[in-house]
Amino acid sequence: MISESIECDVHRIEAVDPYPDDYDATVARNVREQNADARPAIASPLPSIDGYDAVLLGSPIWNVRAPMIMSTFAERYDFRGKTVHPVTTYAMSGLGTTERDYAASCPGATIGEGLAVRGEEVREADTEVRSWLRRIGVLRG
């Protein structure tokens, strides 16, 4: 929805060891990764984020925080002078701890306004998404 509203590059952050399709198995893996403070490997990492002033980091919220692979991504790059906007889907936790987590893992970045959309409401969130894109200054009109 965001990439259909603004001109932007999109990069999927996917694990070398893909997350299971089964919900319970994914939850169990996530709990293990959070408990171990794991950094799952990224299948196709970006070579650089140097060409970007703003980065929208989109993910689900699992157990109050973004999946640990998002920490792998955030810690890999130099975010100094960039603005990071968390974008999440959630069941109960909104942005969860993403703002605090990205502030810690993206030193020198400005953590901008985030967007949290309840998972089951994503398909109806166009107005909310477009309003947020206007507020953060990437959608004109």
Query: Does pLDDT of 82 surpass 70?
Result: yes
Beta carbons within 8 Å of 15's beta carbon, 6+ residues apart = 40, 41, 42, 43, 69
Domains and CATH numbers, the chain: 2-135 (3.40.50.360)
The b/e string for 86-109 (b: 16+ C-beta within 10 A; e otherwise) is bbbbbeebebbbbbebbeebbeeb
> Using one digit for the tens of pLDDT, what is the confidence trace for 84-100?
999 999 999 999 999 99
> Using one digit for the tens of pLDDT, what is the confidence trace for 15-60?
999 999 999 999 999 999 999 999 999 999 999 999 999 999 999 9
Q: How many residues are there in the chain?
A: 141
Residue from 28, 26, 92 nearest 65 by CA? 92
Beta carbons within 8 Å of 63's beta carbon, 6+ residues apart = 27, 30, 31, 34
Query: Does pLDDT of 121 surpass 80?
Result: yes
The band of 141, judged by pLDDT with boundaries at 50, 70 and 90, is low
